[in-house]
A and B are shown apart, each in its own frame.
Chain A
């Protein structure tokens, strides 16, 4: 499942998370984000979740006010991609407890940390929800332990 990138954006087209699994210059990234938001937001309701863009398959799914959008290579399984997006939402939900867009806005770095325990280089690295939750929790503990010592809030 070689994902090229994963984007989260709101109904108004505001970017909430961008994970790039390919080296691309900043200009290129901005353009892609713009293309994706335009394309996905203009899709009519009750159409299928797959698009073609250049030589990639774009899979997107809307969860409440957020669109989760990823790009796959042509040989990849788009139905599984939907499952991947869903799994990520589940992980966020478990971590934040009934996750909503605001959680991701104010804790974007946590969203990245969770993603980095789930995917790497565009591929899945762990298929067990519990395992990922445990790792993120342990990392968080590591963080706070050190900050407690510093007795200063992290950021």
Chain B
């Protein structure tokens, strides 16, 4: 068998292929040769064959049959083999293959190899693609290497540890001792990877974070040395000493200083120093400044420093380099909420960026501009934004239009200005406006009572020019339908009233109905508008018959919506003409139900959602107060009240216990029973409900309900354990464990439960009917409770107690906490 061709030879050959088919043929041939070579277990050329396979894999051809071969190479003693073997493993294998677990032993051996480069290969592979199992197995080895004095291995071990922690966070603790002296290293590689390791640990664990806060002075010192030290050829990049390490340290400082006054203060000076001394002529300096700015904004820095940071960003905006401008805009967007005034100072520069050629920059500038709009600058900003809307790409128009509407709504200096702005948007970008803007606009127009005449006139004029932009046409039709009388009577005060006759108006609306440009929705608007005008316009028979004719034509329209409208309007004319004026009269002012307009571009979506939730809950909270009083009355004033208001989850449990005792006593003494249905059969809910809906207080707590002993009397003990059903968190899964400490078995044990109508209950079969004596075993039964209205409830026992042997229907009192 001739020696397989060499790698470079193969590459050369494949590159001579002129067509895809030719290439495929060559590759198939070679793959076949490689396959047979693998089958023959050829040790000498395995390395060569796998290397060739990796090349073909990069071209996009399948190479899975080489996976095992990689393992064999890794196990080989030759360094060349190992090198290619590990490379192949990283390219061809990943966690999903079982094969890759076989590497674990090889890696373990190689981690203890005598040659550091072999150890390095193993660390590298483990650190790039080790699965959780592998990491678990080999974490000990990595930890050992982390403590070695060999800096080549130490830096690799540190990054390997980072990977292990990412895969198996629980192992973080074991690396803690090794981190003790990491920062006193002189070697930059070790220093850098150590900082990465510390960062990873701090990000994952608040305990680690507080533990490592004491390193802040040391980090500050290292950073200072980097800045102050003279030229170091080994680490220099354009006059800056080891920018990678500087950035990494800045990032760690950011994490350590966040929310902590002392740490933040300790780093103030060095941050100011870096911010002012870093050379900004090249990208590398700006990279460091960028990181510095991010750090300053995140920690509790003094205001002078924050202003410095924002000014740096402002300078970035003027930089010729697009990347830097882009980065500045992104950062300003993040800080505009917190440092609004400082960012405002750079408004004009930001607005200029709207004219930039780069799409990414334009988008950022647009978002930032919207964030900066306020009552003072609305006029100027809107001018710029409208100009931007005119000239921007179609991808932007929808977002820009929505943003303009929102801004106009919030800060419009006058109604007239508002309507003008809307008109401008509708006419320039009318087809890109979001669908939900139309109802919002209609509502806005309705509520601006004095502007009706002006609005309808302007909309009418716009319609005459152009009927292709649907949102514009829809709003216009609606307005003409509502305010057509104002239009023809020429009442406009704001501008020169136009002369238009009623017939002309009807012409326009009918034109919309027949035009090919109109969508079905638009046609619906026009038809309704025409109908409304039958009451708005003077009741001339010719006009009436015209309207009736139009309406009846569409009674047989193919479009179902249109047809329905037409038929109903027809009926209105024929049979209910006396009701027509009332039905079609002017719309009242609509209540604004909150910003249900398009979502704000700036990320406040999370916040708006929660406020909506809160408002929903508020009305219900008033109820429980009265019911709590009822509770008090019924139970003769036991301390149930604290249970309702307390946030401590354990308290209700104990109150439940007290409830139990109280009611137990009641039942024995035969006194007035507090339950509304003491001896009534199952159908009547024996529970006392208080209609508390989800209190925000309980939201975080109710995740875990601790197990409780529901009943413990006469030797029979019933415990409840609670779980939430995984697919549906509204279902609580309660497992009851019944044990019997008496000397006799309890036979015919049956557990029954009843729930109020709003609940649904499912009792699964119990493990047995016999509760063995002397706690030798237990009966378990699973109950699933669905509490769709998330109602808190109490459960009371049936006050009667059945005979000892057939202890049945004991509904143990338990408190279903607020289920979320």
> Measuring CB to CB, which residues of chain A are less than 8 angstroms from any residue of chain B?
1, 14-18, 20-21, 23-25, 30, 46-52, 77-80, 82-84, 87, 105-106, 108-109, 112-113, 116, 120-121, 123-131, 135, 138-139, 142-143, 146-147, 150, 152-155
Contact = CB atoms under 8 A, between A and B. Distances in A.
Contact of A48 (B6, B8, B192, B361): B361
B156 A125 contact: yes
Interface in B1-47: 6-8, 11-12, 15, 44, 47
B531 to A, nearest CB: 48
B360 A50 contact: yes
Interface of B: 6-8, 11-12, 15, 44, 47-48, 51-52, 54-55, 58-60, 78-80, 83-84, 87, 91, 94-96, 115, 117, 120, 123-124, 127-129, 131, 152, 155-156, 159-160, 162-163, 166, 188-189, 192-193, 196, 234-235, 237, 242-245, 247-248, 251, 283-284, 286-287, 290-291, 294, 322-327, 357-361
Contact of A155 (B12, B48, B155): B48
Contacts of A124: 192-193, 196, 244, 248
Given A78-B327, A128-B235, A146 B79 contact: yes
B80 A121 contact: no
Q: Which of A79, A82, A106 has the most CB of B within 10 A?
A: A79
A125 B323 contact: no
7 contacts: A25-B96, A46-B357, A79-B287, A80-B290, A87-B244, A109-B83, A125-B189
Nearest to A52: B360
Contacts of B247: 1, 77, 80
A146 B128 contact: no
A50 B326 contact: yes
Contact of A143 (B79, B128, B324): B79
B521 to A, nearest CB: 33
Contacts of A128: 188-189, 234-235
Given A47-B322, A77-B287, A125-B192, 5 more contacts: A46-B322, A49-B323, A83-B283, A87-B244, A155-B47
A155 B124 CA distance: 23
Q: Which of A23, A24, A109, A120 has the most CB of B within 10 A?
A: A120
B243 A143 contact: no
A83 B244 contact: yes
A123 B200 CA distance: 11
Contact of A50 (B80, B290, B323): B323
List 10 A-B pairs, minimum CB-CB distance, nearest first. A79-B287, A155-B48, A48-B322, A126-B189, A23-B95, A80-B287, A120-B159, A121-B163, A23-B94, A48-B326
A152 B323 CA distance: 50
Contacts of A30: 60
A120 B127 contact: yes
A155 B84 contact: yes
Contact of B234 (A106, A130, A143): A130
Contacts of A24: 94
A77 B324 CA distance: 11
Contacts of A48: 322-323, 325-326, 358, 360-361
Contacts of A131: 189, 234
B8 A106 contact: yes
B117 A138 contact: yes
Contacts of B120: 135, 139
A1 B195 CA distance: 12
A154 B284 CA distance: 40
B330 to A, nearest CB: 9
A62 B359 CA distance: 19
Contacts of B361: 48
A129 B242 CA distance: 11
A20 B96 CA distance: 14
B84 A47 contact: no
Nearest to B5: A155
B192 A135 contact: no
A25 B290 contact: no
B63 to A, nearest CB: 9
A112 B57 CA distance: 14
B83 to A, nearest CB: 7
B623 to A, nearest CB: 43
B11 A105 contact: yes
A125 B79 contact: no
B155 A125 contact: yes
Contact of A82 (B79, B160, B193, B287): B287
A50 B331 CA distance: 14
Contacts of B244: 80, 83-84, 87, 124, 127
Given A47-B358, A77-B287, A106-B11, A121 B159 contact: yes
Contact of B192 (A15, A79, A112, A127): A127
Nearest to A17: B58
A77 B7 CA distance: 38
Contacts of B78: 146, 150
A126 B159 contact: no
Given A24-B94, A121-B163, A79 B58 contact: no
Contacts of B123: 120
B80 A116 contact: no
B728 to A, nearest CB: 28
A17 B247 CA distance: 27
Given A25-B94, A50-B323, A152-B44, A127 B235 contact: yes
A53 B547 CA distance: 54
Contact of B115 (A52, A130, A142): A142
Contact of A77 (B115, B237, B290, B322): B290
